[in-house]
Amino acid sequence: GAVVSQHPSWVICKSGTSVKIECRSLDFQATTMFWYRQFPKQSLMLMATSNEGSKATYEQGVEKDKFLINHASLTLSTLTVTSAHPEDSSFYICSAPHSGGADTQYFGPGTRLTVL
């Protein structure tokens, strides 16, 4: 299947700082990527859809000025958590759709963010 990577796999930061998470499709191009957030013992919740060459679309309740998304190329999307606070601590996961084979989305390994 298609491979999606994320970097970093985990990050610890102080409250008030910004953190950037990268999502890359390694062996295919993706004009769209998705960002999810998962709190402990909960399911994945879609945060936003990243679109190459245009603005991201955010789900209701997700602050676009706090979670900045940049789809810089056909293989890279970045999520920046600005002015992070402890309540932003979560597991962030990206996915990219791949039209071949299973015709579905493939997920990155996730990034564990801990804000102190």
Binding interface with another protein (CB under 8 A)? 1, 4, 6, 31-32, 34, 36, 43-46, 49, 91, 93, 95, 97-99, 102-110, 112
Which CB atom, from 95 or from 115, has the smaller least distance to another protein? 95
- Rounded to whole angstroms, the Cα distance separating 31 from 74 reads 6
Provide, rounded to whole angstroms, the least separation between the CB of residue 31 and another protein. Answer: 8
The least distance separating another protein from the CB of residue 23, rounded to whole angstroms, comes to 10
- CA trace torsion 88, 113, 13, 53 (10° rounding): -80
